[in-house]
Amino acid sequence: MRSFTYERANDIAAATQAASQPGASYIAGGTNLLDLMKVDVERPRHLVDISRLPLRDVVETPDGGLSIGALVSNAGLAADSRVRRRYPVLAQALLAGASAQLRNQATTAGNLLQRTRCPYFYDVSMPCNKRQPGSGCSALGGYNRMHAILGASDACIAVHPSDMAVAMTALQAEVEIHTPSDTTRRTPIAELHRLPGQTPEHDTTLAPGELITAVILPPPPPGRQIYRKVRDRASFAFALVSLAAILDVRDGKVQTARLAMGGVAHKPWTPKTAERALVGAAAQADSFKEAGQAAVHNAVGRPHTAFKIALAQRLVMRTLGDLAAGG
Amino acid sequence: MHEPPHTITRRMLGLTALVTAAFGRTLHAQSQQQAALAPRPEPPALEEVHLTVNSQAHTLSLDPRTTLLDALRDHLGLPGTKKGCDHGQCGACTVLVNGVRLNSCLSLAVMRDGDSIVTIEGLAEDGKMHPVQQAFVKHDGFQCGYCTPGQICSTVGMLDELKRGLPSAVTANLAAMPAISVAEIRERMSGNICRCSAYPNIVAAIMEAQHGSAG
């Protein structure tokens, strides 16, 4: 690990000032950043420790939603009785991620800002446009079984690894951001992460020094919620494909459907065509099969990832069927 | 969030020009960054860190790069906590920080200033093994033993999480108190790898320890 200077931030304004200096980086849980520093992918010269800022509470919002402090641990959020009762898709997604030890330490904002687990991003001896812009993408012609089938580019086919962010996307959460000029802005979570395009080095739309202070959940939407994750082993593994689904069925017809997919793109993927096709459709197998097909209609498979297209399609179909059947 | 945004836009160019432009952009961005950066501290300034480890207060002067794991093993002479992968994947370094189980390899000691740590060396009381240690011995919950300190500290933290009602991925009813079962133990202990694969005996040990702690 390369040397760095360290400071503990005492308030949000001081933190954003310190972190907007070149070479500075925030650290909170540190479970991903320290890992990347050990393998020389991240090389911060100055660490701004924000772990003791007062951002550890989950509070009710006036409209019946929840405001989740940026430093709420993944374990703490999954255990929150309001999340378990009103946002089960989020609790399930959190519990599907990482290990118990990591969930105890990892924070809400850190989970959003974790970086891809593409093995070529981690290997500093290999070209990687995300790590070294312009150097090339080793995954394109390499071992890319865990990589993207939607929204990728010829510069990067990495996927975002978070489960939590997928559930928050289906819940249409907003991210509260404090800027270095001491203002606050909110962005829909769907606009926090970006597709790789020709600049995969930028995972998010955050400007240098900007600090996520909270994630705001709107009131729980009508309907049943579920998070389903398909992976190579039953626990402590990243998703091959995952799905957060919220389905509202009345009198045999779909009123609304909200879907977000993980493991398939550079950001949590919202299959809007599938969502639209479901509205007003009969809540039965044919509709759900069509939704599955619509969810992957523009997917691109590679030799190692082609299986993900059928997998994603069937996951959507099966999950919607289970939700409609009350499962 | 770690790098300044690039200001040069990519235009439609031929392949050769494209490669040149991309390379030029990289060099430009790097030289800009180099000019603006302060030099790395060599040697780095040491940070004073206060830790209470197994009920004993310590003050250490540490390179900020020192992980909690290395502070325990190399600076406090407590080699019971093991370094397996050093990347948070194996769980051999699991300790209790303020009562909560964490991977000490993924935690900077300086960030734990003021915290209370319990390691495998601190579980026994008055020369008597902790009930979880006794259960692991009774059920032969190990073979080579390298993962065992992490397995035992993780179990102590896990049983406390169960008592506090924390759910897991296999908890069927998220609104209810989770009940102990083999499936719950296997899921909740998935952050601790045993390459000798002593898992059946580890699970048996934990089932017995849980009965003891609930009893």
Instruction: Supply the DSSP string of A186-236, one letter for each residue.
Output: EEEGGGTB---TT-TT--BSPPTT-EEEEEEEPSPPSSEEEEEEE-SSSSS
Long-range contacts, B40-45 (Cβ 8 Å, 24+): B40/A2, B40/A3, B40/A4, B40/A45, B41/A3, B41/A4, B41/A5, B42/A3, B43/A3, B44/A3, B44/A4, B44/A5, B45/A5
Tens digit of each residue's pLDDT (9 = 90 or more) over A245-294: 999 999 999 999 999 999 999 999 999 999 999 999 999 999 999 999 99
- pTM: predicted TM-score of the whole model, two decimal places: 0.93
The pLDDT of residue B42 is 79
Q: Closest residue of B to A134, CA-based?
A: B22
Which residues in chain A are closer than 8 Å to B38, comparing Cβ atoms?
Answer: 23, 45-46
Could you tell me if A259 and A243 are in contact, meaning their C-beta atoms sit under 8 angstroms apart?
Answer: yes
Of B10, B161, B189, the CB nearest to A198: B10
Closest by Cα among B113, B115, B83, B84 to B98: B115
Q: Which two tokens stand for residue B145?
A: 């033993």
Best probe of the A interface among B106, B186, B194, by most A CBs < 10 A, is B106
Give the amino acid at A207. Answer: A
Nearest residue in B to A132, CA atom: B26
- pLDDT tens track, chain B, 215 positions: 343 333 333 333 333 333 333 443 343 444 444 546 777 877 889 999 999 999 999 999 999 999 999 999 999 999 999 999 999 999 999 999 999 999 999 999 999 999 999 999 999 999 999 999 999 999 999 999 999 999 999 999 999 999 999 999 999 999 999 999 999 999 999 999 999 999 999 999 999 999 876 54
Tokens of B87: 């990347």
Give the ranges where A156-197 is alpha helix by DSSP (H). Answer: 164-170
Q: Is B160 helix (H, G, I), strand (E, B) or coil?
A: helix
Q: Which residues of A touch B1 (CB under 8 A)?
A: 25-26, 113, 203-204, 206, 208, 210
pLDDT tens digits, A171-196: 999 999 999 999 999 999 999 999 99
| Nearest beta carbon to residue B168 from set A3, A95, A132 | A95
Residue-averaged pLDDT of chain A: 98
Cβ-in-10-Å burial (0-12, 13-18, 19+) of B100 comes to middle
Report the complex ipTM: 0.97
Q: What is the mean pLDDT of residues A5-24?
A: 97
* pLDDT in the model for residue B214: 52
Q: Is B198 left (phi over 0), alpha (psi -120 to 50) or beta?
A: alpha
Buried b / exposed e along A135-158 (16+ C-beta atoms within 10 A): ebbbbbebebebbbbbbbbebbbb
Mean pLDDT of all residues in A292-307: 97
Asked if B107 and B67 count as a contact pair (C-beta separation under 8 A), the reply is: yes
Between chains, do B87 and A78 touch, taking CB under 8 Å as contact? Answer: no
**Contacting residues of B for A51, CB less than 8 Å apart:** 111
**β-bridge pairing A58-60 and A24-27:** unpaired
Confidence of residue A327 (pLDDT cuts 50, 70, 90): low
| Mean pLDDT for the stretch of residues A306-318 | 98
Per residue, the 3-state secondary structure of A238-292, as one string, reads: CCCEEEEEEEEEECCEEEEEEEEEECCCCCCECCHHHHHHHCCCECCHHHHHHHH
Q: Do A134 and B1 touch (CB under 8 A)?
A: no
**Predicted pLDDT at A145:** 97
Beta-carbon count within 10 A of A125 CB? 6
Top residue of A80, A89, A99, A231 to mutate, by most chain B CBs within 10 Å, is A99
Please tell me if the domain spanning B41-122 has the same topology as the one spanning B123-215.
no
Q: Chain A contact for B172, CB < 8 A?
A: no
Say if residue A100's pLDDT is above 60.
yes
Q: Which of B36, B166, B192 sits opposite A22 (nearest CB)?
A: B36
Between A and B, how many residue pairs show a Cβ–Cβ distance under 8 A? 161
Query: Do residue B106 and residue A202 have CB atoms under 8 angstroms apart?
Result: no
Nearest to A310 by CA among A252, A240, A258, A246: A240
At position A132, the amino acid (one-letter code) is Q
| pLDDT given for residue A285 in this prediction | 98
Burial class (CB in 10 A: 0-12, 13-18, 19+), A293: middle
| B64 contact A CB<8A | yes
Structure tokens at B116: 């209370």
Distance, in angstroms, between A280 CA and closest chain B CA? Answer: 30
- Give φ, ψ of B96 to 5 degrees: -100, 120
Q: Do strands A5-8 and A46-49 pair parallel, antiparallel, or not at all (unpaired)?
A: parallel
In angstroms, rounded to a whole number, what is the distance separating the alpha carbons of residues A319 and A228?
7
Nearest chain A CA: its distance from B130 CA (Å):
21
Do the beta carbons of residue B77 and residue B95 sit within 8 Å? no
Give chain B's largest Cα–Cα span: 76
Q: Where are the beta strands (DSSP E) in B69-169?
A: 94-97, 100-103, 116-118
Q: Which amino acid is at A299?
A: A
Helix (H, G, I), strand (E, B) or coil at B42: coil
- Rounded Cα–Cα distance for residues A99 and A133 (Å): 32
Q: Tell me, yes or no, if B155 comes closer than 8 A to chain A by beta carbon.
A: no
Q: Which of B33, B106, B167 sits opposite A34 (nearest CB)?
A: B106
Q: Which CATH class is domain B41-122?
A: alpha beta
Side chain identity at residue B111, one-letter code: M
Biggest CA–CA distance in chain A, Å, is 63
pLDDT of residue B40: 84
Residue of A20, A42, A53, A101 to mutate, interface with B, max B Cβ within 10 Å = A101
Determine contact, residues A4/B45, Cβ cutoff 8 Å: no
Q: Is B181 on the interface with A (CB under 8 A)?
A: no
Residues of A in contact with B35 (CB under 8 A): none
Helices (H), chain B: 15-36, 68-70, 131-138, 148-163, 182-188, 199-214
Residues of B in contact with A104 (CB under 8 A): 100-102, 157
pLDDT, residue B20, reads: 38
Per-residue pLDDT tens over the stretch A141-170: 999 999 999 999 999 999 999 999 999 999
d(CA A226, CA A229) in angstroms, rounded, equals 10
Domain boundaries, chain B: 41-122, 123-215
User: Is B35 part of the contact surface with chain A (CB cutoff 8 Å)?
Assistant: no
Contact status of B41 with chain A (Cβ, < 8 Å): yes
A245: closest CA among A236, A254, A234? A254
| CATH code reported for the domain at B123-215 | 1.10.150.120
B-chain residues near A31 (CB < 8 A): 88, 103, 106
Of A11-20, A36-45, A286-295, B22-31, least confident by mean pLDDT is: B22-31
Q: Cα(first)–Cα(last) distance of chain B, in Å?
A: 51
Question: Residue B14 has what DSSP assignment?
Answer: -
